[in-house]
């Protein structure tokens, strides 16, 4: 069991060295895009929920 665990950790270490990590500029721009899109969806859901709630309150 310990031998398999050590082999697994070594395999993970080898695979992590193969990963091509994004540059800082790319990481920052991707993060900004995700935050902006998340904010847009949040506002959309907020306004849709508000409108639906008001319509339901008017009907009932």
**Tens digit of pLDDT for each residue in 13-46?**
999 999 999 999 999 999 999 999 999 999 999 9
Structure tokens at 58: 């008017």
pLDDT value of residue 1: 87
The model's pTM is 0.65
Q: Using CA atoms, how far apart are residues 51 and 44, in angstroms rounded to an integer? A: 11
- The DSSP secondary-structure symbol of 22 reads P
Q: Using CA atoms, how far apart are residues 13 and 16, in angstroms rounded to an integer? A: 5
pLDDT value of residue 17: 94
Taking the domains of the chain in order of start, what are their residue ranges?
20-60
Whether residue 10 contacts residue 17, with contact meaning beta carbons closer than 8 Å, is answered with: no
Torsion angle of C-alpha atoms 32, 38, 40, 42, degrees rounded to 10: -150
Q: Using CA atoms, how far apart are residues 11 and 23, in angstroms rounded to an integer? A: 25
Structure-model confidence comparison of residues 60 and 51, the more confident one: 51
């Amino acid at each position: 069991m310990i031998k398999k665990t050590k082999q697994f950790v070594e395999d993970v270490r080898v695979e992590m060295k193969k990963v091509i990590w994004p540059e800082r500029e790319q990481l920052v721009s991707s993060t900004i895009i995700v935050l902006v899109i998340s904010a847009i969806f949040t506002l959309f859901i907020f306004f849709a929920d508000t409108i639906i709630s008001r319509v339901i309150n008017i009907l009932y």
